[in-house]
Chains A and B, each alone.
Chain A
């Protein structure tokens, strides 16, 4: 069965520091991968997605993610974190039939 693992429940980074959020997936075929962000009390906003092609994908708000098939990973990165990036981040894999399977989320805290 398809699954997504986000190993880090919480991550704290200093403002201006770089960020990497980890995501590992389990899926038999070519995966469709997504990162969403949820700010407190808000809905889910799509940051970026990977369907095919270039394995390094750019998203909104300065985020990028790299698909590594050999590691079954799709880690999210940002070179310099802003306080407004504090939120919960969800990785998801398309599980066929337009069904998304989500990871448990990683809460990002930004300290000034």
Chain B
């Protein structure tokens, strides 16, 4: 009955590879997010989607491409992985989205290590 789930939990890969991280929420929320937590534990938003529409797109290399097949899923595809992409990636969701601040519920994180 996990609310926000991510797969895989751990991902170890070589530089230059392409990988995807999947996120699913069963809360019936309309908005989903991707955050990156770097080695210094600093959390920063990357993207958000509301009902499959891109809402927030921070300054992120275009090697990162989010995809939302439906409002319960938000996947993150990363092309040509670099060492600096090593981080923990968190997915989150909130009920409605839009301009009004809401509580965001986070997944367990995906720990990506690029060698």
Chain A interface (Cβ < 8 Å from any Cβ of B): 32, 34, 36, 42-46, 49, 51, 88, 90, 92, 94, 96-100, 102, 104-105
Contacts and interface: CB of A to CB of B under 8 A. Distances in A.
Range for the number of chain B residues in contact with chain A: 20 to 34
A16 to B, nearest CB: 27
A10 to B, nearest CB: 12
A46 B103 contact: yes
B42 A104 contact: yes
B108 A99 contact: no
21 contacts: A32-B101, A42-B108, A42-B109, A43-B4, A43-B107, A43-B108, A44-B90, A49-B103, A88-B41, A90-B43, A92-B43, A97-B99, A98-B55, A98-B100, A98-B101, A99-B45, A100-B35, A100-B104, A102-B42, A102-B44, A104-B41
Q: Which of B35, B94, B104, B109 has the most CB of A within 10 A?
A: B104
A98 B35 CA distance: 13
Contact of A43 (B99, B100, B103, B106): B106
Contact of A98 (B42, B97, B105, B107): B97
Contacts of A43: 4, 90, 106-109
Interface in B80-115: 90, 92, 94, 97-109
Interface of A is mostly: strand
Given A97-B56, A98-B48, A98-B98, A34 B106 contact: no
Nearest to A30: B101
Given A34-B103, A96-B99, A105 B41 contact: yes
Contacts of A90: 43
